[in-house]
Structure 1
Amino acid sequence: MTAPPEDRTGPQEPVGPAEDPSVPRTPVTPAWLWLFALAWLGFWLLVMLPSQVMLAQLARDLDPGRKVRLASTFQGVMLVAIVLAVPLAGFLCDRTRLAWGRRRAWALGGFTLAALAFALVGQSDSVPVVCGLLVLVAFGQAGVLVALSAMIADQVPVNQRGRASAAFGAPQVVALAGGMALVTEVIHDVSTAWWAIAVLALACCLPFLLGVGEPAPPARTRPVGGLLHNLTPPRPRRAPDYYWAMSTRVLINAGNLVGTAYLLYYVGDALHRPDPEGAALTLTLVYLVFCLVATYAAGLISDRRPRRKPLVLAGAAFQIAAALSLAVSPTWETALLAAALLGVGYGTFLSVDQVLTTEVLPDERTRARDLGLVNAAQNLPIAPMVGFAVLTLTNENYRALYAASALIVLLGAWSVTRIRSVS
């Protein structure tokens, strides 16, 4: 096994992005940013819709009496699979050397695998088969995630990373709202919805992956050492800020997902809306408008005044306010207000947190692995476990669910205050 060329066992002084020779200096074009966002839109269609509505629909159709248990199981299977797959995918992506582009190759392969498996999920009425297909979807998602995430650190200068992070984050909301409208208001057949979303996701990625070139990686970014060395995450003592950033991402996303994953059931069982799917779509559209505005605004602010932590904290505060409002007053009017607050909070968080993460990466040679680990860690099955436990133990008390959501986001806000190398 080849030893790494430098000592990786002890703490090192952080290098600011402006002084780091591995940070790109050439600006990316507006067309690059728009096509990059379109590729992320395809990815988020495959990620957001299952967790927010499609798995709930599928579980309800397979067994209405066990819908909560099945929906939680399906979510857990996908989340565990992607967390396990990302380190290996990141390791292989960092080591790939192709003239066509190592990141593009992994992203295109991942999209193809994920879309094919995704299309087949809705055609099955067997729980084990669905779980197996969801594992394949997650493996494909892992390839896309590590590749697209690394492109920000590989190709985008620091003073454009707020906009690149917005291109990463804003499509989440567009995918969720537009996708929900498609699978609840336009396509009413569950099996048709799954293959339609798969085709749409694949179409979104092709303009960027086939039409935009990728620069060859510098020789100094070639990973060294063996499989075990490169699969092993950096030691916490060497990269504490990296792990605090990871904790922030995990906890804030988990707190958000605890409340949103069961939105379809909440509007029907707690708010007693006559059309639960229509009501969920209305809330999502309100969320979309506020989230898009906040994502764009926070991205511009972050590029012009590169202070990341205050914006992340502000985003967390809005999300806590949204969750607590639903815990205190579960009414339709409060739900509309909470959707707006959640949109502002999550949009602000999305546009800044990814930038912050690129600035605490411990090694330029393992960007795909390290960014992929952070992005995959947010998929740890905290939300389905907490949601299932709270709703089961409290006899489906949604006030308790949203109180738990607020607490988890609060812990994420505390984590970002522990980061020392980024202001």
Structure 2
Amino acid sequence: MTAVSSSRPRVSPWVLSAFWFGSAFHWLLLLTILMPTNVVSFVGEAQKGTYLGALTAIGAVIALVVPPLVGAHSDRTGRRLPYLKLGVGVNLAGLAVMGVAVATLGGMTGFWVYLMGFLLVQLGNNYATAPYSALIPQLVPPELRGRYSGIMGMLQATAQLLGAVAGIAIGQLGLPQVVGFVLIALTLVVPAVITMRGVPEGDAPPARTGESMPWTQLFTFKPFLWVFITRVLFALGQYSVQPFLQYYAGDVLRQRNEVLSSSLMLACIIVASILSAVVGGQLSDRIGRKPVIYVAGTTMAVAALLLLLAPNFGAALALSVAFGLGFGAFTSVDWALGSDAMPSEKSYARDMGIWHVAFVAPQFVGLPQGQLLDWGNAQGGNLGYTLVFGIAAAFFLLGVILVRNVPDTRKAAA
């Protein structure tokens, strides 16, 4: 691996990660609060899991293809921010289409228009984030990546908390769903402007050192291979549960206001993750990335299993806090571990784009997991949730076991 040459960061971590704040708010409110509610209004209760899973999986196709292609083009031009600007514009157009479908259409016609808007959202957001994701490994030296990743994780968690609060407010005040889309658009644009103004394009020239590894050989580089595999496993665990949390609150916990209850659970997860994100990132700079992931992943797996046994909503909130502590620590270290595993400065955006596939490809699990959820619940006894949450815990534990294979490239780069 080739390390950055500067011994000091070239831009504030808060400015560098500002757009991650907007993107995290965007995806939390959209995927976890708005989309489950909107899908039910379009297709009804009986098929909500199947259609929500299908929507997530179809959108993941774009998230699979776009980042590596756009990242490679960004590496050739040496530019990052123009992609961010154009991508945000397309993202906003997609949000507008989704909002119109919710506000003016119904039934399957509304669903198909909603799907078209969601595809635009996926296209724009991935077009923006693929080159943007190269900035941390490109501008931050290895010995500070844990700190930078921790601040990025904290900003993401804070944004997710605000997204959950927004979901609570929309539900409690009985506001139109379109208000959520307006909030997402505003919260996406402002941080994007902060990043574009605070990271001069001159700070992101084409890399001049190191050799670019052909993408066909990228998985022969063991640090990248194992980081990719373990991220896939953790993402599979996350996406096995995340889209269906709102349904879990109603079907298993018997909460009358599913939106409010799932938003409170998310708030507990996120507040806890804020507390552990910065600590986890800084700790990983001192003791290494893997020990933090061992503890974080195990905590997430145990919490996911115990949620199946939660006797009441209060217990589910306590377990949400435990899950959040693990999730925050994992998120803070995950980006540092991925940055350490990049083989060459000359292809940061392309390689980060391919690595990003490890996070978005598991969104395809939404379709089979949604079908499994509907099938299991039709058998009675909330069997569907037992299967889905149990599978999620298995993915987390397997990720913990396999992360031990990731070589410590940080020492080699020092």
Taking structure 2 as the reference length, the TM-score comes to 0.88
- What's the counterpart of residue 152 of structure 2? 168
Q: Please identify runs of 4+ aligned residues in structure 1 that moved more than 4 A.
A: 221-224
Q: Distance in 2 between matches of 1:195 and 1:51?
A: 15
Comparing 388-397 and 293-302, the one that deviates more: 388-397
Asked if 1 retains the 8 angstrom alpha-carbon contact of 2:91 and 2:125, the reply is: yes
Among residues 213, 236, 243, which one is paired with 2:219 in the alignment? 236
Kindly indicate whether residue 208 of structure 2 is the aligned counterpart of residue 220 of structure 1.
Answer: yes
User: Cα distance 1:306–1:233, how it changes in 2: closer, same or farther (>3 A)?
Assistant: farther
Tell me by how many angstroms 1:296 deviates: 1.1
The Cα shift of 1:280 comes to 1.3
Partner residue of 1:42?
22
Q: Is the 8 A contact 1:309 1:422 kept in 2?
A: no
Map of 2:36 onto structure 1: 56
Q: Name which of 151, 158, 165 aligns with 1:181.
A: 165
Distance in 2 separating the partners of 1:296 and 1:220: 32
Pairing of 1:279-294 with structure 2 (within 5 A): 279-294=261-276
Aligned to 2:403: 416
8 Å contact from structure 1 (residues 184, 278) kept in 2: yes
Q: Which amino acid aligns with 1:241?
A: P
Is residue 114 from structure 1 mapped to residue 96 from structure 2 by the alignment?
no
Q: 1:182 to 1:149 in 2, by over 3 A?
A: same
CA offsets, 1:121-142, max 9 Å, x none?
Answer: 1211322222222222111111
The CA deviation at 1:416 is 0.8
**Any conservation in 2 of the 1:258–1:384 contact (CA below 8 Å)?**
yes
Residue pairs, 1:142-221, within 5 angstroms: 142-186=126-170, 188-214=175-201, 215-217=203-205, 220=208
Equivalent pair of 1:24/1:154 in contact (CA under 8 Å): no
Equivalent positions of 1:221-300 (< 5 A) are 232-237=215-220, 239-300=221-282
Structure 1 residue identity aligned to 2:205:
P
Larger helix proportion, structure 1 or 2?
2
SS in 2 for 1:24: coil
Stretch deviating more after TM superposition (272-281 or 315-324):
272-281
Classify the secondary structure of the residue corresponding to 2:113: helix
**Distance in 1, Cα, partners of 2:321 & 2:403:** 24
**Is the CA contact 1:95–1:223 (under 8 Å) kept in the aligned structure 2?**
no
> 1:313/1:344 Cα in 2 relative to 1: closer, same or farther (>3 Å)?
same
Gaps of 5+ in 2: none
Give the CA deviation at 1:111.
1.5
Residues 1:78 and 2:78 aligned together: no
- The offset of 1:216, in angstroms, is 4.5
Cα-to-partner distance string for 1:301-357 (whole Å, 9 max, x where unaligned): 122x15111111111011011111112345323311220111111101011111111
Root-mean-square deviation (CA), in Å?
2.2
Do the aligned residues in 1 keep the contact of 2:149 with 2:336 (CA within 8 Å)? yes
Superposition pairs of residues 331-370 of structure 1, within 5 angstroms? 331-370=312-351
- Distance, in Å, in 1 between the alignment partners of 2:337 and 2:404 is 12
- Distance apart, 1:382 and its partner CA: 4.1
- Determine if contact 2:150/2:277 at 8 Å carries over to the other structure: yes
1:402 partnered with 2:382:
no
The 8 Å contact of residues 167 and 260 in structure 2, kept in 1 or not, is answered as: no
Counterpart residue identity of residue 269, structure 2: Y
Query: Per the alignment, do residues 318 and 166 of structure 1 end up closer, same or farther by CA in structure 2, a change over 3 Å counting?
Result: same
Residues 36 and 109 of structure 1: is their aligned pair in 2 closer, same or farther, counting only changes over 3 Å?
same
Counterpart contact for 1:327–1:402, Cα < 8 Å: yes
Return the TM-score normalized by structure 1. 0.86
Range moving further from structure 2, 260-269 or 177-186: 177-186
Q: How many residues align?
A: 392
Question: Do the aligned partners of 1:255 and 1:383 also contact (CA within 8 Å) in 2?
Answer: no
Deviations 1:51-105 (A, max 9, x none): 21221111012122332222112111222211111111111111124xxxx1111
Residue 378 of structure 1 deviates from its aligned partner by 0.9
Match in the other structure for 2:307: 326
Give 1:417 deviation, angstroms.
1.3
CA drift at 1:223: 8.6
| Secondary structure, counterpart of 2:49 in structure 1 | helix
